């Protein structure tokens, strides 16, 4: 069963910037897909379309059996709330709220999560001792883990991460990867944009975007895990 299908998806910004051209892609339920490609190739645009934050100019997006490219704003809000967990490179935490309050507020401010539930989510990402800290009192890796706790609060079927380790050092990258590996092992579907071959190496499949087109799909990704760890991005 496919969790996600993009069929002939194109995105035009204004009248002259075409960010995606006729993208076709399928992601099976439980699959981990890595998306790579140079800066400006359309990766974030694709994540915004999949994450129901924007609609394609043409083509369709079928998420868990529902055509979100045809949905109303209310439909898209419901899909984001019920099915999607989003993790960005920039942390998007509210600076004057503690880690616990940020998780309680939930993403898209769709609901207030109970304090006990938010605390449990932070414990799951190893932050049980940091719940009353403000974002400014947390390291980059800890802030990213607060974002992950927030994204996972509603047990989303589909987790979308756009360069989630782009601002992290190797130790924190490993911590985030451990969380993703755990999510994968428990059946979540993951789509992770990354410049890092190491991060991509853990995916089941890799799609490469160039100039808004999928130019390569490799199953599994052509990278090896740590040990033969190559830290340098293949895109420099
Ligand atoms: N809101 C926007 N308005 C106009 N052009 C945009 C917008 N967002 C992205 N673009 C352009 O679309 C292309 C793809 O951008 P993006 O999806 O952010 O790529 P990536 O995430 O791979 O770096 C780029 O040429 C970018 O400048
Ligand atoms: Mg991007």
Tens digit of pLDDT for each residue in 93-115? 999 999 999 999 876 655 678 89
* Residue closest by Cα to atom 18 of ligand 1: 44
Helix (H, G, I), strand (E, B) or coil at 206: strand
Mean pLDDT of 216-227: 87
d(CA 13, CA 7): 19
Mean pLDDT value across the chain: 91
* Residue closest by Cα to atom 27 of ligand 1: 40
* For residue 159, pLDDT beyond 80: yes
Domain coordinates in residue numbering, the chain: 2-229
CB 166, CB 197: distance < 8 Å: no
Q: What is the pLDDT of residues 9-18, one digit of tens each?
A: 999 999 999 9
Write down the pTM of the prediction: 0.92
pLDDT at 18: 97
Which spans in the chain are helix H?
43-50, 73-83, 99-105, 115-124, 140-151, 170-185, 197-201
125 vs 29, higher pLDDT: 29
8 vs 105, higher pLDDT: 8
d(CA 90, CA 52): 19
How far does the centroid of ligand 1 lie from the alpha carbon of residue 104, in Å?
31
Q: What is the DSSP letter of 117?
A: H
Mean pLDDT of 141-167: 93
How far does the centroid of ligand 1 lie from the alpha carbon of residue 7, in Å?
20
CB 205, CB 33: distance < 8 Å: yes
Q: Name which CATH class applies to 2-229.
A: alpha beta
Rounded to 5 degrees, φ, ψ at 131 are: -65, -25
d(CA 43, CA 195): 11
R_g (Cα) of the chain, nearest Å: 17
Q: How confident is the model at residue 228 (pLDDT cuts 50, 70, 90)?
A: very low
How far does the centroid of ligand 1 lie from the alpha carbon of residue 123, in Å?
36
Percent of the chain with pLDDT over 90: 81
pLDDT at 107: 63
- Match 């040990």 to its residue by tokens: 227
Q: What is the pLDDT of residues 22-67, one digit of tens each?
A: 999 999 999 999 999 999 999 999 999 999 999 999 999 999 999 9
């Amino acid at each position: 069963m496919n969790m996600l299908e993009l069929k002939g998806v194109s995105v035009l910004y204004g009248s002259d910037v075409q960010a995606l051209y006729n993208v076709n892609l399928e992601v099976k339920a439980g699959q981990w897909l890595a998306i790579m490609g140079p800066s400006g190739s359309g990766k974030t645009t694709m994540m915004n379309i999949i994450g129901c934050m924007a609609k394609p100019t043409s083509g369709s997006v079928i998420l868990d059996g529902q055509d979100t490219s045809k949905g109303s704003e209310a439909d898209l809000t419901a899909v984001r709330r019920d099915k999607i967990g989003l993790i960005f490179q920039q942390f998007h935490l509210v600076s004057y709220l503690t880690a616990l309050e940020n998780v309680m507020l939930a993403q898209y401010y769709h609901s207030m999560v109970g304090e006990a539930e938010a605390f449990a989510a932070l414990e799951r990402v190893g932050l049980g001792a940091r719940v009353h800290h403000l974002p400014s009192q947390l390291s980059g890796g800890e802030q990213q883990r607060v974002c992950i706790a927030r994204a996972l609060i509603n047990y989303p079927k589909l987790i979308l991460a756009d360069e989630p380790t782009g601002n992290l050092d190797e130790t924190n990258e490993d911590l985030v990867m451990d969380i993703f590996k755990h999510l994968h092992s428990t059946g979540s579907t993951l789509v992770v944009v990354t410049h890092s071959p190491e991060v991509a190496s853990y995916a089941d499949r890799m799609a490469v975007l160039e100039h808004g087109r999928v130019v390569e799909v490799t199953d599994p990704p052509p990278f090896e895990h740590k040990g033969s760890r190559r830290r340098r991005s293949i895109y420099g």
